[in-house]
Amino acid sequence: MRQELISWDDFEQVELRVGTIVEVHDFPEARKPAYRLTIDFGEAIGLKKSSAQITTRYEKEQLLGKQVIGVVNFPVKQIGPVQSECLVTGFYHPDGSVILAVPDQAVPNGSKLG
């Protein structure tokens, strides 16, 4: 699979930041099974809400306190009754489930991936 190349400036525009999941709720209104998440991206960015289709591999209890990598500078997107304020990143497994992209060591919330 060949992808179109982007410039370094393009990459720098994407704000990939670390945040800690502080709330996890079921999202029964979603078309596909998902959770509603509240993620703490630190003092400068604050709390952001998102939905994530990660119910196949993660229980709610596993997610509380977990650090994740999210895109924090997308516009708000309406997903059913939820306004998603960030995109939680992950990798697609061959079975279609999502495995979260996470730091392998704890870092301060709001730290930028680069």
Q: Tell me: the pLDDT tens digits for 89-103?
A: 999 999 999 999 999
Residue 100 has a pLDDT of: 98
Question: Which residue, among 28, 95, 27, has the nearest Cα to 63 in the 3D structure?
Answer: 27
In this predicted structure, the answer to whether residue 47 has a pLDDT above a threshold of 90 is yes
pTM of the model: 0.93
Per-residue pLDDT averaged across 18-38, rounded?
95
Cα angle at 70 between 15 and 28, to 5 degrees? 140
Residue 67 Rama label (left phi>0; alpha psi -120 to 50; beta): beta
Above pLDDT 90, what percent of the chain? 88
CA angle 63, 68, 74 (to 5 degrees): 120
